Structure 1
Amino acid sequence: MSRLTDLIARTKGNDPQLGADLEREFKALSSRLPYGLNFERHSPEAVELPLRPVRKGDKVRVLPERGSTKKGDQRLWQVKAIQKAKKLADLELLGPAKTETQSVALDDLVVVAEFRDTIYPGLVSTGKVERGGDKPFHTVINGENYHALKALTYAYRGKVDAIYIDPPYNSGAKDWKYNNDYVESDDLYRHSKWLAMMERRLLLAKDLLNPAESVLIVTIDEKEYLRLGLLLEQLFSYATIQMVSSQINPKGVSRGGSFRRSDEYLYFVMFGTARPCRMPLSSEWSTSTQSDLENSSEDGSPVTPDWTSMMRRGSEAYRNDRPSMFYPIYADPITRKISAVGAALPNGEHAAPPKKGLVAILPIRKDGSEGRWQIGASELESRIKQGRVRLGRSTSYGFVVNYLPDGAYADVISEKFLIQGYADDGSVIAFSEAGDLSRVASTQWKIASHNASENGSSLLATLLPKRKFPFPKSLYAVEDALRFFVLEKKDAVVLDFFSGSGTTAHAVMRLNRQDQGKRRCISITNNEVAADEQKALREQFLRPGDADWEKYGICDFITKPRVKAAITGKTPEGGSIKGDYKFTDEFPIADGFEENAEFFTLTYEAKSAVNHNLAYARIAPLLWLRAGAQGLRIDKLPPEGWALVNTYGLLTEVDAAAPFINAVRQAKALRVAYIVTDDDRRFQAIAQQLPRAVEPVRLYESYLTNFSFSNGE
Structure 2
Amino acid sequence: MATLTFKGKTFVQNHHLAVKYHQLVPKKDKSLTDKVSLNDNLIIHGDNLKALKALLPTYAGKVKCIYIDPPYNTGNEKWIYNDNVNSPMMQEWLGKIVDKEDLTRHEKWLCMMMPRLKLLRELLRNDGVIFISIDDNEQHHLRMLMDEVFGEENFITNIIWQKKFSPQNDAKYFSDNHDFIVVYAKKKNISDEKSGWIRNLLPRTESMEKRYSNPDNDPRGPWSSSDLSVKTYSKDYDYPITTPSGKVINPTRGRCWRTSKDNLMKLIKDNRIWFGPDGSNVPRIKRFLSEVQKGLVPLTIWLHKDVGHNQQARQELKEIFSDADFPFETPKPIRMVQRILQITTDKDSIILDSFAGSGTTAHAVLDLNKEDGGDRKFVLVECEDYADEITAERVRRVIKGVPGAKDEKLREGLGGTFSYFELGDAIEMESILEGGQFPTYPELARYVFYTATGEEFDPSKVDEESNFIGESKEYEVYLFYKPDMEYLKSTSLTLERAKNMGLYKGKKRLVFAPSKYLDTEYLLQYHIEYCQLPFEIYKLKE
TM-score by length of 2: 0.67
Query: How is 1:176-195 mapped onto 2 (pairs within 5 angstroms)?
Result: 176-178=79-81, 179-195=94-110
Partner of 2:404: 578
For residues 312 and 356 of structure 2, the distance between their equivalents in structure 1, rounded to whole angstroms, comes to 17
Instruction: Note closer, same or farther for the CA distance 1:269–1:334 as it changes in structure 2 (3 Å cut).
Output: farther
Alignment of 1:597 onto 2:419: yes
* Aligned pair partner of 2:315 in 458, 461, 466: 458
Alignment of 1:619 onto 2:438: no
For residues 200 and 706 of structure 1, the distance between their equivalents in structure 2, rounded to whole angstroms, comes to 23
Tell me, what secondary structure is at the counterpart of 1:181?
Answer: coil
Partner of 2:67: 164
For residues 510 and 135 of structure 1, the distance between their equivalents in structure 2, rounded to whole angstroms, comes to 21
Contact 1:642–1:656 (Cα < 8 Å) also in 2: no
For residues 405 and 465 of structure 2, the distance between their equivalents in structure 1, rounded to whole angstroms, comes to 50
The percent of aligned pairs where both chains have the same amino acid is 22
Q: Deviations over 1:615-665 (max 9, x none)?
A: 23572695799899999797xx84564689xxxx99545867888879x9x
Report the CA distance between 1:219 and its aligned residue.
1.0
For residues 497 and 422 of structure 1, the distance between their equivalents in structure 2, rounded to whole angstroms, comes to 55
Alignment of 1:265 onto 2:171: no
For residues 254 and 521 of structure 2, the distance between their equivalents in structure 1, rounded to whole angstroms, comes to 81
* Aligned pair partner of 1:469 in 296, 316, 327: 327
* Aligned pair partner of 2:26 in 125, 130, 136: 125
For residues 428 and 682 of structure 1, the distance between their equivalents in structure 2, rounded to whole angstroms, comes to 81
Contact 2:477–2:509 (Cα < 8 Å) also in 1: yes
Partner of 1:501: 358
Report the CA distance between 1:485 and its aligned residue.
1.0
Report the CA distance between 1:566 and its aligned residue.
2.4
Instruction: Note closer, same or farther for the CA distance 1:521–1:700 as it changes in structure 2 (3 Å cut).
Output: farther
Report the CA distance between 1:441 and its aligned residue.
2.2
For residues 287 and 313 of structure 2, the distance between their equivalents in structure 1, rounded to whole angstroms, comes to 40
Report the CA distance between 1:508 and its aligned residue.
1.4
**One-letter amino acid matched to 1:480:** R
Tell me, what secondary structure is at the counterpart of 1:677?
Answer: strand
For residues 523 and 181 of structure 2, the distance between their equivalents in structure 1, rounded to whole angstroms, comes to 47
**One-letter amino acid matched to 1:476:** R
Q: CA RMSD in A?
A: 5.1
Q: Deviations over 1:314-339 (max 9, x none)?
A: xxxxxxxxxxxx99684133359xxx
Partner of 2:429: 607
Report the CA distance between 1:136 and its aligned residue.
4.5
Partner of 1:297: 212
Instruction: Note closer, same or farther for the CA distance 1:521–1:233 as it changes in structure 2 (3 Å cut).
Output: same
Q: Deviations over 1:170-224 (max 9, x none)?
A: 111134222322221132222233223222221222222222x111111112222
Contact 2:400–2:415 (Cα < 8 Å) also in 1: yes
For residues 608 and 263 of structure 1, the distance between their equivalents in structure 2, rounded to whole angstroms, comes to 50
* Aligned pair partner of 1:482 in 329, 334, 341: 341
Instruction: Note closer, same or farther for the CA distance 1:631–1:248 as it changes in structure 2 (3 Å cut).
Output: farther
Partner of 2:200: 277
For residues 226 and 428 of structure 1, the distance between their equivalents in structure 2, rounded to whole angstroms, comes to 47
Query: How is 1:65-144 mapped onto 2 (pairs within 5 angstroms)?
Result: 117-127=18-28, 128-130=31-33, 136-144=39-47
Tell me, what secondary structure is at the counterpart of 1:523?
Answer: strand
For residues 222 and 107 of structure 2, the distance between their equivalents in structure 1, rounded to whole angstroms, comes to 47
Contact 2:168–2:175 (Cα < 8 Å) also in 1: yes
Report the CA distance between 1:587 and its aligned residue.
1.7
Tell me, what secondary structure is at the counterpart of 1:578?
Answer: coil
For residues 220 and 640 of structure 1, the distance between their equivalents in structure 2, rounded to whole angstroms, comes to 50
Q: Deviations over 1:132-164 (max 9, x none)?
A: 999951112222222222222322222221111
Contact 1:246–1:444 (Cα < 8 Å) also in 2: yes
Query: How is 1:277-356 mapped onto 2 (pairs within 5 angstroms)?
Result: 277-282=200-205, 296-297=211-212, 330-334=236-240
Instruction: Note closer, same or farther for the CA distance 1:157–1:640 as it changes in structure 2 (3 Å cut).
Output: closer
Instruction: Note closer, same or farther for the CA distance 1:617–1:297 as it changes in structure 2 (3 Å cut).
Output: same
* Aligned pair partner of 2:538 in 689, 705, 708: 705
For residues 286 and 524 of structure 2, the distance between their equivalents in structure 1, rounded to whole angstroms, comes to 60
For residues 478 and 303 of structure 1, the distance between their equivalents in structure 2, rounded to whole angstroms, comes to 32
**One-letter amino acid matched to 2:132:** V
Contact 2:24–2:421 (Cα < 8 Å) also in 1: no
Tell me, what secondary structure is at the counterpart of 2:362?
Answer: helix
Instruction: Note closer, same or farther for the CA distance 1:395–1:223 as it changes in structure 2 (3 Å cut).
Output: farther
Tell me, what secondary structure is at the counterpart of 2:125?
Answer: coil
Instruction: Note closer, same or farther for the CA distance 1:266–1:397 as it changes in structure 2 (3 Å cut).
Output: farther
Tell me, what secondary structure is at the counterpart of 2:27?
Answer: strand
Partner of 1:523: 380
Instruction: Note closer, same or farther for the CA distance 1:395–1:134 as it changes in structure 2 (3 Å cut).
Output: farther
Alignment of 1:561 onto 2:393: yes
Tell me, what secondary structure is at the counterpart of 2:25?
Answer: strand
Alignment of 1:198 onto 2:113: yes
Partner of 2:276: none
Report the CA distance between 1:277 and its aligned residue.
1.0
Tell me, what secondary structure is at the counterpart of 2:420?
Answer: strand
For residues 399 and 222 of structure 1, the distance between their equivalents in structure 2, rounded to whole angstroms, comes to 49
Runs of 5+ unmatched residues, structure 1: 1-32, 46-113, 285-291, 312-325, 337-358, 360-393, 403-419, 528-552, 570-575, 665-672, 689-697
Partner of 1:41: 8
Partner of 1:145: 48
**One-letter amino acid matched to 2:25:** V
Report the CA distance between 1:595 and its aligned residue.
2.9
For residues 361 and 524 of structure 2, the distance between their equivalents in structure 1, rounded to whole angstroms, comes to 41
Partner of 1:677: 512
* Aligned pair partner of 2:142 in 221, 228, 240: 228
For residues 461 and 650 of structure 1, the distance between their equivalents in structure 2, rounded to whole angstroms, comes to 51
Contact 2:51–2:423 (Cα < 8 Å) also in 1: no
Report the CA distance between 1:557 and its aligned residue.
2.7
TM-score by length of 1: 0.52
**One-letter amino acid matched to 1:205:** L
Report the CA distance between 1:520 and its aligned residue.
1.4
For residues 519 and 625 of structure 1, the distance between their equivalents in structure 2, rounded to whole angstroms, comes to 26
**One-letter amino acid matched to 1:705:** Y
For residues 259 and 564 of structure 1, the distance between their equivalents in structure 2, rounded to whole angstroms, comes to 41
Report the CA distance between 1:245 and its aligned residue.
1.2
* Aligned pair partner of 2:130 in 206, 209, 216: 216
For residues 225 and 114 of structure 2, the distance between their equivalents in structure 1, rounded to whole angstroms, comes to 41
Partner of 1:345: none
For residues 362 and 147 of structure 2, the distance between their equivalents in structure 1, rounded to whole angstroms, comes to 28
Report the CA distance between 1:577 and its aligned residue.
3.7
Tell me, what secondary structure is at the counterpart of 1:210?
Answer: strand
Q: Greater CA deviation, 234-243 or 650-659?
A: 650-659
Q: Deviations over 1:482-526 (max 9, x none)?
A: 11111xx22212111111111112211222222332221111121
Instruction: Note closer, same or farther for the CA distance 1:446–1:150 as it changes in structure 2 (3 Å cut).
Output: same
Contact 1:246–1:266 (Cα < 8 Å) also in 2: yes
